[in-house]
Amino acid sequence: MTDTPMPPAGGAAHRFEAGLERRAANYVSLTPVSLLARAAAAFGARVAVIDGERRLTYAALYARCRRLASSLAARGIGRLDTVAILASNIPEMVEAHFAVPMLGAVLNPLNTRLDPATIAFSLRHGGARVLIVEEAHAPLAAKALAAMEARPLVITIGETGIAGALPYEALIEAGDPAHAWAPPDDEWQSLCLLYTSGTTGDPKGAVYSHRGAYLQALGNAVTFGLSGESVYLWTLPMFHCSGWSYPWACVAAGATQVCLRKVEPADIFRLIAEHGVTHLCGAPIVLSMIAHAPAHERRDFPQTVRCAVGGAAPSSTIIRTMEEMGFRITHLYGATESYGPATACLAQPDWAELTDEERYQRMARQGVALATLDGVIVTDPETGEPVPQDGSRIGEIRLRGNTIMKGYLGNPSATEKALAGGWYATGDLAVWHADGAVEIKDRSKDIIISGGENISSLEVEEVLMRHPSVMLAAVVARPDATWGETPCAFLEAKPGSEVPSQETIIAFCRERMARYKVPKTVVFGHLPKTSTGKIQKFVLRDRAREIG
Ligand code: ADP
Summarised one tens digit per residue, pLDDT across range 239-248 is 999 999 999 9
Determine if ligand 1 sits within 6 Å of the CB of residue 313.
yes
pLDDT band at 529 (very low <50, low <70, confident <90, very high): confident
| Candidate of 333, 336, 408, 456 to mutate for ligand 1, largest count of ligand atoms within 8 Å of Cβ | 333
Q: Nearest C-alpha to atom 26 of ligand 1 is from which residue? A: 312
- Looking at residue 469, what is its pLDDT? 95
| Candidate of 204, 440, 462 to mutate for ligand 1, largest count of ligand atoms within 8 Å of Cβ | 440
Which has the closest alpha carbon to 520: 509, 532, 536?
A: 509
**Can you tell me the mean pLDDT for 453-475?**
93
Q: Is the pLDDT of residue 2 over 60?
A: no
**Can you tell me the mean pLDDT for 264-293?**
96
Between 495 and 272, the higher pLDDT residue? 272
Percent of the chain predicted with pLDDT > 90 = 88
Give the H/E segment covering residue 493. Answer: strand 484-493
pLDDT in tens, 16-73: 999 999 999 999 999 999 999 999 999 999 999 999 999 999 999 999 999 999 999 9
pLDDT band at 203 (very low <50, low <70, confident <90, very high): confident
Q: For residue 435, what are the CA distances in angstroms to 323, 329, 363, 365, 429?
A: 23, 20, 13, 11, 18
| Candidate of 242, 534, 535, 536 to mutate for ligand 1, largest count of ligand atoms within 8 Å of Cβ | 534
So what's the architecture of 447-546 in CATH?
A: 2-Layer Sandwich (3.30)
Determine if ligand 1 sits within 6 Å of the CB of residue 343.
no
- Phi and psi angles of residue 400, each rounded to the nearest 5 degrees, phi first: -145, 145
Angle at which helices 91-102 and 246-253 cross, to 10°: 90
In sequence order, what are the residues at sequence separation of 6 or more whose Cβ sits closer than 8 angstroms to the Cβ of residue 111? 195, 197, 237, 239, 240, 531, 532
- Looking at residue 548, what is its pLDDT? 63
Q: Nearest C-alpha to atom 11 of ligand 1 is from which residue? A: 335
Q: How far is the CA of 536 from the centre of ligand 1 (A)?
A: 12
Q: How far is the CA of 364 from the centre of ligand 1 (A)?
A: 14
Determine if ligand 1 sits within 6 Å of the CB of residue 426.
yes
Q: Nearest C-alpha to atom 5 of ligand 1 is from which residue? A: 335
So what's the architecture of 33-214 in CATH?
A: 3-Layer(aba) Sandwich (3.40)
- Looking at residue 264, what is its pLDDT? 96
Determine if ligand 1 sits within 6 Å of the CB of residue 428.
yes
- Looking at residue 9, what is its pLDDT? 64
Determine if ligand 1 sits within 6 Å of the CB of residue 458.
no
- Looking at residue 7, what is its pLDDT? 60
Percent of the chain predicted with pLDDT > 70 = 97
Which residues of the chain form CATH 3.40.50.12780?
33-214, 263-402+411-444
Q: Nearest C-alpha to atom 3 of ligand 1 is from which residue? A: 197
Between 91 and 483, the higher pLDDT residue? 91
Which residues of the chain form CATH 3.30.300.30?
447-546
Determine if ligand 1 sits within 6 Å of the CB of residue 469.
no
- Looking at residue 215, what is its pLDDT? 98
Q: Is the pLDDT of residue 514 over 90?
A: no
- Looking at residue 200, what is its pLDDT? 54
Q: Is the pLDDT of residue 298 over 60?
A: yes
Rounded Cα distance between 451 and 459, Å, is 18
Q: Which atom of ligand 1 is nearest to the CA of 458?
A: 25
Query: Do residues 54 and 44 lie in contact, with contact meaning Cβ atoms separated by under 8 Å?
Result: no
| Candidate of 118, 428, 531 to mutate for ligand 1, largest count of ligand atoms within 8 Å of Cβ | 428
Q: Which fold has domain 263-402+411-444?
A: Rossmann fold (3.40.50)
Q: How far is the CA of 333 from the centre of ligand 1 (A)?
A: 7
Across 72-171, the runs of DSSP E, i.e. the strands, are 82-86, 106-109, 128-134, 153-157, 166-167
Q: How far is the CA of 355 from the centre of ligand 1 (A)?
A: 28
Q: Which atom of ligand 1 is nearest to the CA of 443?
A: 16
Q: Which amino acid type is present at position 241?
A: C
pLDDT in tens, 146-177: 989 999 999 999 998 999 999 999 999 999 99
Q: Which atom of ligand 1 is nearest to the CA of 366?
A: 23
Q: Is the pLDDT of residue 347 over 90?
A: yes
Determine if ligand 1 sits within 6 Å of the CB of residue 534.
yes
Mean pLDDT of the chain: 94
pLDDT in tens, 425-459: 999 999 999 999 999 998 888 999 988 888 999 99
Q: How far is the CA of 273 from the centre of ligand 1 (A)?
A: 30
In sequence order, what are the residues at sequence separation of 6 or more whose Cβ sits closer than 8 angstroms to the Cβ of residue 297? 265, 266, 269
Q: Nearest C-alpha to atom 13 of ligand 1 is from which residue? A: 335
Residue 532, helix vs strand vs coil: coil
Q: Nearest C-alpha to atom 1 of ligand 1 is from which residue? A: 197
